[in-house]
Amino acid sequence: MNSIRSRLLLWQISALLVTALVVSALTYRLALKGFNELQDDGLEQIAHTVLRHDETPVPAPTGRTRPSPTPTYTTGGDPSVMEPEIPLVAPADDEPDEGRFVSQIWSAKGELIYASVLDDGPPLQPPGFHFVVWEGHTWRVYTLPRETRTVQVAVTRHDRNQGFSSLVVWLLLPMALLVVLLGVLIHEAVSRALRPLDQLRRDIGQREMAQLHAVSLEDLPDEVSPLAHTLNQLLERLDHLLAGQRQFLADAAHELNTPLAAIKLQAQLARRAQAGERQTALDDLDAGIERAIHLAAQLLQLARLEPDQREPTQEAVQLDSLVRQSVAAFSGAADARDTDLGIVQADAVTLVGDRVALRALLDNLLDNALRYTPPGARIDVSLRQDADAVLLEIADNGPGIAAQDRSRATERFVRLNQTEVTGSGLGLAIARETAALHGGTLQLDDTPGGGLTVRVRLPLSPPP
């Protein structure tokens, strides 16, 4: 049962029924006890009345006296416990006169001198209240002794039960009506309380993919409002993500169009070129293909950094070893441009992160430095460890980036100098997002003496 409405109704109505049963049982018990006490009080009052009016002895209707046998009785018993003892007197053929009190008057010697029924009634009992089995019936007996007379008044248990049974229906009927009324009210209250959830479900269910605006928080209960607020945050992130993906696809299509068109043109020129010019045309075609491959690789790297793609791999990475591998991979390109590429400082650093993403960060920063520095330049790489972070710096003595353009330089597909250098404008964007993926930051600054310094600060352990 996964329905909140069903669970609430089940628990509340079950609690109501259990409470009603317990209250009904207690009410029945207390009412029965009170009824029996009231009936006992009536027996006592009748006994006193008979004793006060016993001025002239009247012979017993049977014309005989009978010694009192020793009956079975319970003294001082709870009147609500109607448990008879084993009878000592065998049942008679004639049924006793039920439906009324039986009163008896006994002499001081234990002789029956008056009885209100022809078959005498129960035998004489000790003073007080007792349960007695006589003539096959259980009797409630009260005996009141005096100096010369003893009055005994009795009534059958059957007679008492009939009197109480007529009251039980009226006693429990209000409880039954209360249970029905409260059940209806509980059902209505639960339905009204869950109505905002139903409304929220309908609001979300009727939306199209493009309708990612926030859910209205007006008139929502306090328990539902946090859920709606969290849902609005999710919708906002989803809208931002979809907008970013649409922009990314548009930019990628635009950026890929240029190198692909250039490759097509260079292939046509190579086909038409004379034998002496064909090698130059093929070299240009190779350069165009290389540029397209590089752009596609960077687009793939950028796509992998999207927050909805995957969680970064968390493993121990020896970052100084990774820096040496990346510098060694670009040393050939640096030598071809007569560029001094080297490591100034490389502390032994191990951090928790994604090895592939960190290697892509290093490769893109070194590729950018080689692309945007003139031949004969100098590129210094340093890796230092602070107390709880790692500082990676790549400094060059190239033209640098003006302070007002540095914030734009880390955006996707932004190339500040499109005439002199061919590039995709993705290198710094990939480095920035990789640093953010590891809980770090990327900062652009001036190199003393001229040039650009890229500083990447990464925590040793990424935040959760």
Q: Give residue-wise pLDDT tens across range 410-420.
A: 776 666 664 45
Q: Are 140 and 131 in contact (CB under 8 A)?
A: yes
Q: Would you state the pLDDT for residue 424?
A: 59
Res. 352 pLDDT band, cuts 50 70 90: confident
Q: Which of 162, 163, 227 is nearest to 201 (CA)?
A: 227
Q: Which of 86-90, 257-261, 377-381 has the lowest mean pLDDT?
A: 86-90
Res. 59 pLDDT band, cuts 50 70 90: very low
Q: Are 362 and 323 in contact (CB under 8 A)?
A: yes
Q: Would you state the pLDDT for residue 128?
A: 92
Give the mean model confidence (pLDDT) for residues 280-296.
73
Domains of the chain: 4-165 (no CATH), 208-310 (1.10.287), 315-459 (3.30.565.10)
Res. 66 pLDDT band, cuts 50 70 90: very low
Res. 302 pLDDT band, cuts 50 70 90: low
Q: Would you state the pLDDT for residue 201?
A: 76
Instruction: Give the C-alpha distances (Å, rounded to integers) separating 171 from 49, 60, 176, 288, 296.
Output: 31, 42, 10, 98, 86
Q: Are 379 and 366 in contact (CB under 8 A)?
A: yes
Res. 230 pLDDT band, cuts 50 70 90: confident
Q: Which of 110-114, 194-198, 447-451 has the lowest mean pLDDT?
A: 194-198
Q: Would you state the pLDDT for residue 70?
A: 39
84 against 345, higher pLDDT: 345
Give the mean model confidence (pLDDT) for residues 152-178.
84
* 10-48 as b/e: b if 16+ CB within 10 A: eebbeebeeebeeebeeeeeebbeebbeebbeebeebbe
437 against 262, higher pLDDT: 437
Q: Would you state the pLDDT for residue 384?
A: 92
Q: Would you state the pLDDT for residue 379?
A: 92
In whole angstroms, give the CA distance from residue 211 to residue 214: 9
User: Please, how many CA atoms are within 13 Å of residue 266, restricted to the half-sphere of its CB?
Assistant: 20
Whether 63 has a pLDDT exceeding 50, the answer reads no
Q: Which of 155, 76, 172 is nearest to 116 (CA)?
A: 155
